[in-house]
A and B are shown apart, each in its own frame.
Chain A
Amino acid sequence: MSTQSAVRLKAAGSAASATNHTLMRYVLRLADTSLVLGQRLGEWVGHAPALEEDLGLANLSLDLIGQARLLLTYAGELEGRARSEDDLAMGRDGSDYYNLALAEQPNGDFGRTIVRQVLLDAFQLKVYEALQSSSDARLAEVAAKALKETRYHFRYSAGWLVRLGDGTDESHRRVQSALDELWRFTRELFIADDVDREMAEAGVAPKLADIEPGWNALIDDVLREATLKRPPDVPYSWHGKRGEHTEHLGYLLAEMQFLHRAYPGASW
């Protein structure tokens, strides 16, 4: 695996400071991508092809939901309206979710789940690496914790992609077709908008263009070893991080939020 050093963050100019609103929006993007992906992986519990993978995917899910909890709690504090992690997770509709559209794509078969996981693990790995040096101390400490877990996730997902891609004709065909289908969602990862730019200027978050080469290197290495072909980039993008989602998110939220909405404040 290629290793590069993490992007170091620096505030541009002394006047640059992020507003709480923009910072909250940025934190929600990170939180929602982890939460939605964690919920997707949780759908495998009891259904994975082998007990070991059932446990593996559930463990990934648990880490991701744990990361989401830390981030949602922080987002609630930034907002200052006393919304808890649960309020934010269970009380927002799809258009107020800011996860990357890739995270909400359905599991499909095990191979498709692994392809989605590799693409997002590599992305979170590069983001968390950079966020360790964020000017926002809280984000930096969550990132340092999450990075350790994400490295382990990538090791798991990349290991499986190599086995499936460089496996039988059938497994190769299935993961290549999942990769071809999911690739169009990767463009969103590196398209910066005002939130991304403001966060980068304030030294809170990396410039997306700065972490893109690192992501490319990780992905190209894994694809080469897995004997898979990198699909061509598409000229269009989804905007999950602006709250514009594919039709799949609504169904996911309906299942995830049902209990909390039907029985507000339920606990056990």
Chain B
Amino acid sequence: MVAVAPVRTQPGSTKLEAELWRVLERVPDPEIPVLSIVDLGIVRYAHIERGHVRVGLTPTYSGCPATEVIQRSVRRALEDAGHEDAVIDTVLSPPWTSDWLSEAGKRKLQAFGIAPPAESVSNPRRLFGTPRVACPKCASTATQLVSEFGSTPCKAHYRCTACLEPFDYFKCL
């Protein structure tokens, strides 16, 4: 399956739609607040339909507990910007992938101390390969997986054997 990253500025998109994206860019991910939901790549569309704002959000993981919090934050941000009664859709297909994390998002993660995804997930047959993950503190690739799962569904737990720092790794999905 070829997953297509969300297209921000579609042909014919209006000034108002550009403003919607700016509003959404200020909504933080509740679990990794250094990232906006736009950086995370979970906003599938934002446009005006019959006078109402319509936003499509895709969950990172089926059971991610942040999904409902994000919907509420989006609604509040839009209301604050003067858009009442926004329609918020949950879009499952195509499923979210860590490839949709923006370049700006990856830099923000790195600066925050979370190693960004090390590779693209273009090969769906990969089951047991281990990516080379660089330590976000000292950039050494002498790192070890501690646990496949970390503090949130989207992260794994690593440690750096060069600088001895434990860190979170934003896993590839």
Contact = CB atoms under 8 A, between A and B. Distances in A.
Interface in B122-173: 124-125, 127-128, 146-151, 153, 157, 171, 173
A52 B149 CA distance: 7
A155 B65 contact: no
B98 to A, nearest CB: 10
Nearest to B152: A59
Contacts of B65: 62
- Most A CB atoms within 10 A — which of B1, B63, B92, B151? B63
Contacts of A64: 63
Q: How big is chain B's contact interface, by range?
A: 20 to 34
B148 A156 contact: yes
- Chain B residues touching A, majority SS: loop
Contacts of A59: 149, 153
B138 to A, nearest CB: 23
Interface in A36-64: 52-53, 55-56, 58-60, 62-64
Contacts of B150: 55
B63 A142 contact: no
A35 B128 CA distance: 26
A55 B147 contact: yes
B127 A146 contact: no
A66 B64 contact: yes
Chain A interface mostly helix, strand, loop or mixed? Answer: helix
A145 B149 contact: no
Interface in A90-144: 132, 140-142, 144
A157 B7 CA distance: 37
B58 to A, nearest CB: 9
Interface string A151-185: 11011100100000000000000000000000000
Contacts of B94: 144
Given A55-B150, A69-B62, A144 B95 contact: yes
B63 A145 contact: no
**Interface size bucket, A side?**
20 to 34
A257 to B, nearest CB: 19
B93 interface: yes
B148 A66 contact: no
A148 B92 contact: no
Given A65-B63, A144-B95, A3 B125 contact: yes
Interface string A11-54: 00000000000000000000000000000000000000000110
A1 interface: yes
A63 B153 contact: yes
B61 A66 contact: yes
A52 B146 contact: yes
Given A59-B153, A148-B173, A154 B127 contact: yes
A204 to B, nearest CB: 17
A3 B123 CA distance: 12
B62 A63 contact: yes
B147 A56 contact: yes
Contact of A70 (B92, B153, B171): B92
A186 interface: no
Given A59-B153, A62-B153, A141-B95, A152 B125 contact: no
B13 to A, nearest CB: 26
A185 B139 CA distance: 48
Contact of B63 (A62, A151, A155): A62
B147 A62 contact: no
Q: Which of A53, A58, A148 has the most CB of B within 10 A?
A: A148
18 contacts: A3-B127, A52-B149, A53-B147, A55-B150, A58-B149, A59-B149, A62-B63, A65-B63, A69-B62, A69-B63, A70-B92, A144-B93, A144-B94, A148-B173, A149-B173, A152-B148, A155-B127, A155-B128
Given A64-B63, A149-B173, 7 more contacts: A55-B149, A55-B150, A63-B61, A142-B62, A145-B96, A155-B127, A155-B148
Q: Which 5 A-B pairs have CB atoms at the shortest separation, nearest pair first?
A: A66-B63, A66-B62, A52-B147, A141-B93, A62-B63
